[in-house]
Structure 1
């Protein structure tokens, strides 16, 4: 039987929010059908609007395409263009069957101008086929924790089985921007290259207008299809704060600029309302726990010191719930996890920290019982024959 000790241990300020940034942002008027603002450091969602809705994501797909390519490919690899790659619909670089390019050059084309033919050429080179590369994308999504995402193509063209959520896409972007080469490519204003033979030359220009709209903008990727509408994943780093925003289904033609307006509104909300706050918990003590059939009756508990550095609003609070057992059963090994501390930020579970047994307790056995009897006998003045 477990006993739950509810402790409002760390009252930061005020009465607490009602979850995920909605208390101050409930009147945020966004065009997007689905949107998320995330703290890139912790992965905590600061605001969402239908953030768990499964939707197509168009060319924001290429965030994962680039991530897998950087991790699984060699930038100096030579990529040969297949007939399938050359036949992809616009937007195209217009590469031709049989041409060869350096992988590093194609990755700039992939991200700066979102070329669909290049995405397939990259996918076939690294994954052996589009299907093989999609398997790699899906595995990486699971590794990241984006469990409501499924990739079919490397370019994001419409498919019923190709979807994500704003929350998942923010997680994917959070992972992606930890790669310095990813940031270097997506922040490049213009890039020139040629095929291996030097017969054709290209210059690709960055189409991410957000890079010039707010100080500290660091990307990331636009997208549009008839099914997905306008989409954008943005990132902004200012001082010690880094935010990720996602807007999906953010209007259809002629409303191309709505995604920029929504992104700026989300980022400004984060800048205006969230500052880092240090939360520290040291010296937490627990009552000893009884040990059934133990050679000693109780065992102490311990928990590691906790230091949290979180982006929080002034009205948010941290609450902690402790779960520890009423009784343990011998044997108990020192260091065994026997409970946990659950940290809630604005009503949302943020972190679970283990609570350990601080010592070992052996189980009562025949030898222990015999030793106890003999000791008692001797202490009473008895003699052994």
Structure 2
């Protein structure tokens, strides 16, 4: 039987036991040069966020239309919050219709649904659709850009600043390959998005005289097995950029190239980056999303305890052929929580460590709603304590 030890550290309850995992390493040592003709590049694994390869990944560069990854992230969050529905109508302002560059040729006063606007952004990189959605959500483009920058700050992005939701050239509008990968990883936490980013072709205004054919600017979704996103970018200053994602054998990666000389070179180098990731690495999932890991006492709740589950899968990245070794699993739960507790509310975190090094940290959430107890529930519970 395994020995279980309980201690109090920094007001958090720590529960430790042995768990198989990978040897910890500070960095992934790579002896190959990828994306030679790009200004910067990076590959990260989706579950863990571990960097598998990087080249000048923190260099500040214009992201062009990859900016729309953040635009789509804000949209998806508004949908998840219930503030937007896919069938909501979006009115096109004169300003939104005036956007140059890639567009779906919205006219002033034209209405499309959120679903159609998302198609226009994700597939055709529509600048007009991006601004129309920005105005729908925040009232003005400027207010929406504030949301974008606040989100970037909350994600800990140190090399990103936005001036618009489109990626059209603007002073002080920049990001980095690493920051774009983190944005892409966050966007992929909304599974619905790949319905749009993974579509190669579709139509808008069907069965009208103005039917518009959408063809994905990201050709990898058609030609690279497992690819289903995310966003291309091009301006004369930014050159050819791409944030791509693909999934094979239960491993998903996000890869970014910035500043490639041609679209052909960008796609070829991205394919090599993805090949490298899938050929060299694999993911070992240790705990599934939603698995019970503990119980937490709740004060003044209709029930005394709530089951605690993982918010996302707990995984480690292994070099192919690499062995697993023992690490420590620490469960840190918040103290003195009172009802009501909402399903999905963060109540702690799960930490995987090897020695003093933290391998991964995952939020723990309440599995169920715990309503506040009525006075008679508490009275009966008190009386029961004397029996």
Call closer, same or farther: CA 1:309–1:116 in 2, change over 3 Å.
Answer: closer
1:238-257 CA-to-partner distances (Å, cap 9, x unmatched) read 11111110011122xxx221
> What is the CA-CA distance between 1:12 and the residue it aligns to?
5.6
> What is the CA-CA distance between 1:153 and the residue it aligns to?
0.7
The aligned counterpart of 1:256 is 263
Structure 2 counterpart SS, 1:148: coil
Matched, 1:109 2:120: yes
Taking the TM superposition and a 5 Å limit, the aligned residue runs for 1:18-57 are: 19-21=26-28, 23-28=29-34, 30-57=36-63
Whole-Å Cα distance in 2 between the matches of residues 163 and 312 of structure 1? 33
Taking the TM superposition and a 5 Å limit, the aligned residue runs for 1:75-114 are: 75-114=86-125
RMSD after superposition: 3.4
Structure 2 counterpart SS, 1:180: coil
The aligned counterpart of 1:274 is 281
The aligned counterpart of 1:243 is 253
Whole-Å Cα distance in 2 between the matches of residues 106 and 279 of structure 1? 38
Whole-Å Cα distance in 2 between the matches of residues 308 and 96 of structure 1? 47
The aligned counterpart of 2:379 is none
Call closer, same or farther: CA 1:169–1:51 in 2, change over 3 Å.
Answer: same
> What is the CA-CA distance between 1:164 and the residue it aligns to?
1.1
Structure 2 counterpart SS, 1:24: coil
> What is the CA-CA distance between 1:44 and the residue it aligns to?
1.0
> What is the CA-CA distance between 1:139 and the residue it aligns to?
1.9
Whole-Å Cα distance in 2 between the matches of residues 217 and 89 of structure 1? 29
Q: Does the 8 Å contact 1:124/1:133 carry over to 2?
A: yes
Q: Does the 8 Å contact 2:285/2:314 carry over to 1?
A: yes
Call closer, same or farther: CA 1:224–1:316 in 2, change over 3 Å.
Answer: farther
Matched, 1:212 2:218: no
> What is the CA-CA distance between 1:77 and the residue it aligns to?
2.1
Whole-Å Cα distance in 2 between the matches of residues 131 and 256 of structure 1? 31
Larger radius of gyration: 1
Whole-Å Cα distance in 1 between the matches of residues 246 and 205 of structure 2? 32
Structure 1 counterpart SS, 2:247: strand
Question: What is the TM-score when the length of structure 1 is the normalising length?
Answer: 0.68
Q: Does the 8 Å contact 1:20/1:48 carry over to 2?
A: no
Taking the TM superposition and a 5 Å limit, the aligned residue runs for 1:1-385 are: 19-21=26-28, 23-28=29-34, 30-72=36-78, 73-194=84-205, 200-251=210-261, 255-277=262-284, 309-313=315-319, 314=321, 343=353, 350-351=359-360
Q: Does the 8 Å contact 1:25/1:47 carry over to 2?
A: no
- Equivalent pairs counted in the alignment come to 296
Whole-Å Cα distance in 2 between the matches of residues 98 and 236 of structure 1? 38
Q: Does the 8 Å contact 2:119/2:196 carry over to 1?
A: yes
Whole-Å Cα distance in 1 between the matches of residues 27 and 56 of structure 2? 12
Q: Does the 8 Å contact 2:194/2:228 carry over to 1?
A: yes
Whole-Å Cα distance in 2 between the matches of residues 268 and 189 of structure 1? 21
Question: What is the TM-score when the length of structure 2 is the normalising length?
Answer: 0.67
5+ residue gaps in structure 2? 1-18, 79-83, 288-312, 329-334, 336-350, 363-387
Structure 1 counterpart SS, 2:192: helix
Whole-Å Cα distance in 2 between the matches of residues 190 and 278 of structure 1? 34
Call closer, same or farther: CA 1:83–1:12 in 2, change over 3 Å.
Answer: closer
> What is the CA-CA distance between 1:118 and the residue it aligns to?
1.6
Q: Does the 8 Å contact 1:55/1:165 carry over to 2?
A: yes
Whole-Å Cα distance in 2 between the matches of residues 58 and 257 of structure 1? 17
Structure 1 counterpart SS, 2:131: helix
